[in-house]
């Protein structure tokens, strides 16, 4: 029997935690672990990315799409630095990721080649969990602790494995030996419910409201039925954060769409007209689109008590699981629908949907990007997964793409880092090879890392049961960083070099479709979704189409509340304006 080394123990613990694959970029300091993964025969699989940053995005994408724990590998120095973007994405969107970093430092500390203080480098992004293995016997326990911490805190952690530790020979370790294994893989699930007194207080707030709005985030997944029952019982309107876009069916007549700068006018009007707000599993950063402080009474539900009240003043905080908490709350609520308010919301939603149709049909040179997403909407397979990048594409996704119930869509919602979509899509496809995957991105993200990661796609796709991975590239040639019609793009210095994205896909053995006329958009989607291999849809779109963020309702009165009589007078003025606005919306 071949002699076992500590790197083999790492593979054992990855298997014990049911990690299907680790993403990374190989190098000398992590070479023993990569070799051990190769010996493991694909259990778990090592997936080399073209860059450490995309490897960390893949690990985070795996966590987002599967609900599991993502794993990424890198070496010391600049390789470790490149992991930070994807790890911050995991931190800000509350996803568990374990980063395993190899270190190979010889010579005096402070002068070695590629030496970087890893503890300080990762301390913030990993919430101080940056632990070194000092000997092979520590490896199993340290990895169990890392996985358990990542799962329990829903955040990234870092384990540093010096190369000499990875290569060290280990004896047969007993599971109960001192300092060897002290944790059992798996995260124990707890039932978390608020106290009865808090539930009663929340029920009283909701029962007394006349115009209720519900804002759902990603934390409301699994509580769809309860949210809808609450909405019907109160006659409430519903909006979502970007990360919560897939929670509820956006075709519901009282669903106002996404809230925020990339969102809808209907959602802004919902927030401007409500007098009661329920926030479920959301930590949305677009606080400027929430109701004015003092306008509403607010109930917030979140499993993480640290987030309650961090974005917006809350009257009744409820710390608990969304579905369990809503069920307990519904048991205390009378059936008090508000048909007048519900009709107000539905009229607002109808007007907005008509406006969306008109926007998508507006002429552009050569293609209107809104039309590209509008045409995709009825064609999205019900079993699909979507990965969305940062840029103007996120505006069109938020407004124009109505997703079938059950579609899993993910984006870099809080960090907002460009270049996430294709790494996400690769992770989603590797996790479920029989599932169609669609990546939505701009030409900036494609040039940033997408052109390289198409090589990863070309390497893996022949093994996929369903070969469909469709990459949309909105090619507007604008590198000003503004786009969306905010500035003209006639200056050659601000025009991005025009790359034949569809042609590059064909060179890699993939399929490619270039769309430069509006009448070709629908056919291009049909061709891509019927292709026998991954496909790049290159849509040549007009950068002058305005992003047109919605105006926050009653923005001029935000933030003016003070204590005493002045606050009361302003509040009375706001209430009068809200009543007038509600009448006008009917």
Which conformational region is residue 466 in: left (phi greater than 0), alpha (psi within -120 to 50 degrees), or beta? beta
**Helices of type H across 467-508:** 501-507
Cα–Cα distance, 30 to 191 (Å, whole number): 39
Local structure of 52: helix, strand or coil: helix
Tokens of 404: 């079938």
Question: Half-sphere exposure of 333 toward its Cβ, with a 13 Å CA cutoff?
Answer: 25
Strand order in the sheet with 97-103: 45-48, 21-24, 70-74, 97-103, 156-162, 130-132
How many C-beta neighbours within 10 Å does residue 294 have? 18
Say if residues 381 and 470 touch (Cβ distance below 8 Å): no
What is the structure's pLDDT at 574? 47
- Tell me the H-state helices in 255-331: 265-273, 322-330
Cβ pair 319, 305 in contact under 8 A:
yes
* Tens of pLDDT, residues 552-581: 865 443 333 333 343 444 445 445 544 544
> Going by C-beta distance under 8 Å and a sequence separation of 6 or more, which residues neighbour residue 160?
101, 102, 103, 118, 130, 131, 132, 133
pLDDT value of residue 404: 85
Q: 17-36 burial, b for 16+ CB within 10 Å, e for fewer?
A: bebbbbbbbbbebbbbbbbb
Closest CA to 428 of 61, 24, 25, 18: 61
Q: What is the pLDDT of residue 493?
A: 59
Structure tokens given for 117? 């203080």
Helices (H), 209-321: 224-234, 265-273
Strand partners, 381: none
What tokens appear for 131 in the block? 């632990």
CA–CA dist 94, 413 (Å, integer):
11
Task: Residue 363: name the closest of 488, 544, 498 by CA.
Answer: 544
Query: Which pLDDT value is given to residue 565?
Result: 46
Whole-angstrom distance, CA of residue 104 vs CA of residue 76: 7
**Beta carbons within 10 angstroms of residue 523's beta carbon:** 12
The pLDDT assigned to 494 comes to: 62
Domain spanning 196-351 has what CATH number?
3.40.50.1220
List average pLDDT for each run of 10 residues in the chain, which is 586 residues long: 86 96 96 96 96 98 97 96 98 96 72 75 96 94 96 96 94 53 61 94 96 96 96 97 94 96 95 96 89 93 91 95 97 92 96 97 96 97 96 97 92 94 98 98 96 98 97 87 52 75 98 97 98 98 94 52 41 50 45
- Asked whether 110 and 82 are in contact (CB, 8 A), the reply is no
Residue 167 in tokens: 């290569």
Tell me the whole-structure pTM to 2 decimals.
0.90
Q: Indicate the SS3 state at residue 419.
A: coil
pLDDT of residue 191: 81
Calculate the alpha carbon distances from 304 to 209, 248, 356, 391 in Å: 26, 22, 36, 29
Residue 327, SS3 per DSSP: helix
Query: What residues have CB less than 8 Å from 70, skipping those under 6 apart?
Result: 23, 58, 59, 60, 61, 62, 63, 90, 95, 96, 97, 98, 427
> H or E segment at 81?
helix 78-81
Is the Cβ–Cβ distance between 297 and 575 less than 8 Å? no
CA gyration radius, the chain: 25
Cα–Cα distance, 488 to 214 (Å, whole number): 39
Chain CA centroid to CA 469, Å: 19
Q: How far is CA 484 from the centre of its chain?
A: 22
Alpha-carbon distance 164 to 42, whole Å? 24
Q: What pLDDT, on the 0 to 100 scale, is given for residue 567? A: 41
Beta partners for 316? 299
- Give residue 570's pLDDT: 43
Q: In what order do the strands lie in the sheet with 255-258?
A: 255-258, 237-240, 212-216, 276-280, 297-302, 316-319
Ranges for all domains in the chain classified under CATH 3.40.50.1220: 196-351
Which CATH number describes the domain made up of 3-171? Answer: 3.40.50.970
Q: What is the dihedral of CA 369, 375, 377, 381, to 10 degrees?
A: -120
Tens digit of pLDDT for each residue in 227-240? 999 999 999 999 99
Q: Report the DSSP beta bridge partners of residue 298.
A: 277
How much is the pLDDT for 478? 78
The CA–CA distances, whole Å, from 504 to 78, 479, 531, 535, 536 equal: 29, 20, 16, 11, 9
Report the distance separating Cα 7 and Cα 83, nearest Å.
Answer: 21
Quote helix, strand, coil % in the chain, to nearest 5.
45, 15, 40
189: preceding bond cis by omega (within 30 degrees): no
Q: Quick one: tokens of 562?
A: 């003070």
Q: Retrieve residue 110's tokens.
A: 């402070």
Neighbours of 538 (CB within 10 A): 25
* Residue 564: burial class (beta carbons within 10 Å; 0-12, 13-18, 19+): exposed
Rounded Cα distance, 513 and 147, in Å: 42
Whole-number Å distance between alpha carbons of 91 and 128: 12
Looking at the structure, give the CATH architecture of the domain made up of residues 363-540: 3-Layer(aba) Sandwich (3.40)
Query: What is the location of CATH 3.40.50.970 in the chain?
Result: 3-171, 363-540
């Amino acid at each position: 029997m071949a002699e076992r080394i500590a790197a083999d123990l790492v593979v054992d613990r990855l298997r014990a935690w049911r990690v299907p694959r680790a993403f990374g970029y190989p190098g000398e300091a992590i070479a023993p672990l990569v070799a051990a993964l190769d010996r493991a025969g694909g259990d778990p699989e090592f997936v080399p990315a073209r860059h450490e940053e995309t490897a960390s995005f893949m690990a985070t994408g795996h966590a987002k799409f599967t609900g599991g724990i993502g794993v990424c590998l890198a070496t010391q120095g600049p390789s470790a630095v490149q992991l930070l973007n994807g790890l911050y994405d995991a931190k800000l969107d509350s996803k568990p990721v374990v980063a395993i970093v190899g270190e190979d430092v010889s010579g005096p500390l402070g002068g070695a080649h590629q030496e970087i203080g890893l503890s300080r480098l990762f301390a913030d992004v990993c919430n101080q969990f940056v632990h070194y293995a000092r000997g092979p016997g520590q490896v199993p326990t340290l990895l169990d602790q890392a996985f358990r911490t990542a799962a329990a805190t829903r955040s990234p952690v870092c384990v540093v494995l010096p190369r000499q530790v990875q290569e060290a020979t280990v004896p047969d370790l007993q599971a109960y030996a001192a300092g060897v294994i002290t944790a059992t893989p798996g995260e124990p699930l707890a039932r978390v419910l608020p106290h009865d007194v808090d539930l009663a207080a929340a029920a009283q707030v909701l029962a007394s409201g006349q115009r209720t709005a519900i804002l759902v985030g990603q934390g409301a997944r699994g509580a769809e039925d309860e949210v809808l029952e609450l909405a019907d019982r109160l006659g409430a309107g519903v909006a979502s954060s970007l990360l919560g876009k897939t929670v509820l069916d956006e075709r519901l007549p009282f669903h106002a769409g996404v809230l925020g700068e990339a969102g809808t006018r209907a959602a802004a009007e919902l927030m401007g007209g409500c007098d009661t707000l329920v926030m479920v599993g959301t930590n949305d950063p677009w606080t400027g689109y929430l109701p004015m402080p003092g306008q509403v009474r607010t109930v917030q539900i979140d499993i993480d008590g640290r987030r309650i009240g961090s974005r917006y003043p809350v009257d009744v905080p409820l710390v608990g699981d969304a579905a369990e908490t809503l069920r307990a709350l519904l048991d205390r609520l009378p059936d008090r629908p508000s048909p007048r308010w519900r009709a107000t919301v539905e009229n607002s939603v109808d007007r907005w949907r008509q406006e969306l149709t008109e926007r998508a049909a507006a002429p552009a040179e050569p293609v209107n990007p809104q039309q590209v997403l509008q045409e995709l909407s009825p064609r999205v397979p019900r079993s699909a997964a979507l990965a969305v990048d940062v840029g103007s594409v996120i505006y069109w996704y938020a407004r124009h793409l109505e997703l079938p119930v059950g579609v899993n869509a993910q984006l870099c919602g809080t960090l907002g880092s460009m270049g996430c979509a294709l790494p996400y899509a690769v992770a989603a496809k590797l996790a479920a090879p029989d599932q169609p995957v669609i990546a939505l991105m701009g030409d900036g993200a494609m040039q940033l890392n997408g052109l390289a990661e198409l090589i990863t796609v070309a390497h893996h796709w022949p093994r996929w049961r369903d070969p469909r991975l469709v990459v949309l590239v909105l090619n507007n040639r604008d590198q000003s960083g503004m786009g969306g019609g905010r500035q003209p793009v006639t200056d050659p210095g601000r025009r991005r070099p025009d790359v034949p994205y569809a042609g590059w896909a064909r060179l890699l053995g993939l399929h490619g479709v270039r769309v430069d006329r509006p009448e070709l958009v629908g056919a291009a989607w049909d061709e891509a979704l019927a292709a026998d291999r991954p496909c790049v849809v290159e849509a040549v779109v007009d950068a002058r189409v305005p992003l047109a963020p919605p105006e926050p309702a009653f923005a001029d009165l935000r933030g003016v509340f003070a204590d005493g009589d002045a606050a009361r007078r302003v509040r009375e003025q706001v209430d009068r304006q809200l009543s007038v606005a509600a009448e006008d919306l009917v």
